[in-house]
Amino acid sequence: MNKKNKRKIKAHYLYKFKKDFYRKHGRKPYVLLKKEQRKKYRRVRKKSKLKMIQEPIIITLPSILSLSNEYRTEFLDTMKKINTYLPSKNYKCSIDHSYIERIDPEALIVLAADIKRCVRKNKILRFNPKYAPKNEQVMRMLNSIGYWEHFNISKKDLYTDKKRRYLKIIHDIQADNMHVVELREFFDKKLDFLDDNDDAEQMFDDAISEAIANSVEHAYIKKQDRIIIDNAWWLSGSYDTTNNELFFMCYDQGIGVKEALSHHDNRKVKKWVSKFGLLIKSDSDVIETLVKEDLPKYKDTDRGHGFKHFIKFIENYSQGSLNIYSKKGVCKFIKEDNSILTHKHEFKDSLDGTLIVWKIKFDRSVTKC
Amino acid sequence: MLIFDFAEKFAKAPGPRTEKIGPNSGAKFREKFLEDWFKNNQAVEIDVSGTVMNFGPSFLSEAFGKMAKEYGKEKFYSIIHVKDEGKRNLKLKQLIDKHVDIALSK
């Protein structure tokens, strides 16, 4: 084909394109507009874009943030609102912390994780003093636990909690055991909580590392119908030298313990799961079974004892508790005077993922001089 | 006998079971070091006094348990030795013995 014919065909197709475009949109294609016409077109597009962003949404956090029976529903309803509006490009969203009077650390880690996943890609968070906590104790707690830093918000004048020390929230997507060392060294600086006991140290390391490894290995599946940060887990801890107590917790936003079992690909585990009828049991029953019953051993390794490691650490101390929250269930194992009591509860509403909380109360001062 | 400083040559904190889960895993240690030692019949004395964390059950079973199962107890202990000094070394020795027994009991 010679050059003349090629030019004719090109001109014909260009003519056809302009004609079709004008019929469809009622105007010339942007590329073919003159300079002044382009400016006008850009102004019109900007205005119509701004119209899309509606009135800013203000999500007010309740006065008490807690996962306990009375306050759980209100807390989870607020989480749903955050999940709906915060990730959306169409809304300007603010989270009002000013009415908070009390936050339980468990609820705080869930809140921080939820906000983090919602603003992962497209939004930058800013600190607005108008919506900051008015309660001084709450503010000190958020400062101490690294709440603002978790969202990359740099804030001056960070007054921290003097009574209670917090390890700043640790967040990762890999089971890096240096974080376990970080948590242990945080406690070890001021407390003699391991009492020079090698077994207690081993149990502490095993409990946390198994919890983190479980989150990365089992909690997340490929297709989930909500926003997640794949393999993400959060870790924090705190101690109070006046009350001689410490706690630490590990949280993931996965599918929960029961559903993770149903997705397991090992034949022996599937057999064991059906033997105990775990898929028809409630979430709290499943947690109890995993902690107390002997899991099947895999073909060539001694896998499947992760949950048992969680409770072994508590058994070292005279007073302690292990609370495992997963979806609608919570299972609490309370150590008192050489025996472990189990309390289970099922809720109507579901918490995303699994939260494991260890608490130890010492009957004497363990503060290092 | 080759002396292997675990903290210097591998990691200060032993990791989880596999690299998919996290860094410095038992699987990586087995593939990078243990398999070579066993193939070459190289006796090794492992020193973990520089580590900052205890060895977890997942790491031990994936690394040492699997080698014991493949080569047998006698060969395993002819290759793998743990230094006699230090708390962490003594603890590791106990844990390796435990996981070798578990692996061989299957």
Q: How far apart are the first and last CA of chain B?
A: 31
- Long-range Cβ contact pairs of B34-43 (< 8 A, separation 24 or more): B34/B63, B34/B64, B34/B67, B34/B80, B35/B67, B37/B2, B37/B79, B37/B80, B38/B67, B38/B70, B38/B71, B38/B75, B38/B79, B41/B79, B42/B2, B42/B79, B43/B1, B43/B2, B43/B78, B43/B79, B43/B81
CA gyration radius, chain B: 12
Q: Are A324 and A214 in contact (CB under 8 A)?
A: no
User: What are the tens digits of pLDDT across the range A158-189?
Assistant: 777 778 889 999 999 999 999 999 999 999 88
Cα A295 versus chain centre, distance: 28
pLDDT(A13) > 70: yes
Average the pLDDT over each of A315-329, A354-368, B45-59 and give the range with the smallest value: A354-368
d(CA A168, CA A186): 10
A205, containing H or E segment = helix A198-218
State pLDDT tens for residues A211-259. 999 999 889 887 666 777 888 999 999 998 888 888 999 999 999 988 8
pLDDT at A296: 57
C-alpha distances in angstroms, A74 versus A55, A77, A189, A347, B99? Answer: 24, 5, 37, 13, 47
**Single-letter amino acid, residue A289:** T
3 state SS of B48: coil
Partner-chain residue, chosen from B58, B69, B87, that has the shortest CB–CB distance to A213: B58
Q: Minimal Cα–Cα distance from B18 to chain A, Å?
A: 10
Residue A23 has a pLDDT of 76
Model pLDDT, residue A227: 74
CB atoms A174 and B22 under 8 Å: yes
Q: What integer pLDDT is reported at residue A48 of this predicted model?
A: 58
Q: Does pLDDT of B64 surpass 80?
A: yes
Whether residue A303 has pLDDT greater than 80: no
Closest CA to B87 of B59, B58, B47, B31: B47
Parallel/antiparallel/unpaired status of strands A233-240 and A164-172: antiparallel
Specify whether the backbone of A168 is left (phi greater than 0), alpha (psi in -120 to 50) or beta.
beta
Which residue from B12, B22, B65 is facing A302, i.e. has the nearest CB? B65
Residue B94 pLDDT greater than 50, yes or no: yes
Inter-chain contact A216–B16, Cβ cutoff 8 Å?
yes
Contact assessment for residue A343 and residue A336, using Cβ atoms and an 8 Å cutoff: no
First-to-last C-alpha distance (Å) of chain A: 93
- A268 has pLDDT over 80: no
pLDDT higher than 50, residue A298: no
pLDDT at res. A338: 84
A18, containing H or E segment = helix A3-25
Provide CB contacts within 8 A for A192, sequence distance 6+: A366, A367, A368
Using an 8 Å Cβ cutoff, are A105 and A62 in contact?
A: no
Percent of chain A past pLDDT 70, that is, above it, reads 88
- 3-state SS assignment for residue A260: helix
pLDDT digits (tens, 9 = 90+) for A26-75: 776 776 667 777 777 776 666 655 555 567 889 999 999 999 999 999 99
The tokens for A338 are 């050489």
pLDDT digits (tens, 9 = 90+) for A107-158: 999 999 999 988 866 678 889 999 999 999 999 999 999 999 999 888 776 7
Which residue in the set B23, B53, B87 is minimally distant from A180, CB to CB? Answer: B53
Buried b (16+ CB within 10 A) or exposed e, A4-19: eeeeeeeeeeeeeeee
φ, ψ for residue A169 (rounded to 5)? -55, 130
Whether ipTM tops 0.85, in short, is yes
Which chain B residues are closer than 8 Å to A300 by Cβ? 66, 69, 103, 106
What pLDDT sits at residue A94?
Answer: 92
Q: Summarize the confidence of residues A62-90 as an average pLDDT.
A: 91
Q: Say how far apart CA A165 and CA A161 lie, in whole Å.
A: 7
What pLDDT shows up at residue A294? 65
pTM of the model: 0.84
Please check the confidence at residue A300 and state whether its pLDDT lies above 60. no
**A213 CA: distance to closest CA in chain B (Å):** 6
**What is the average pLDDT across A332-347?**
90
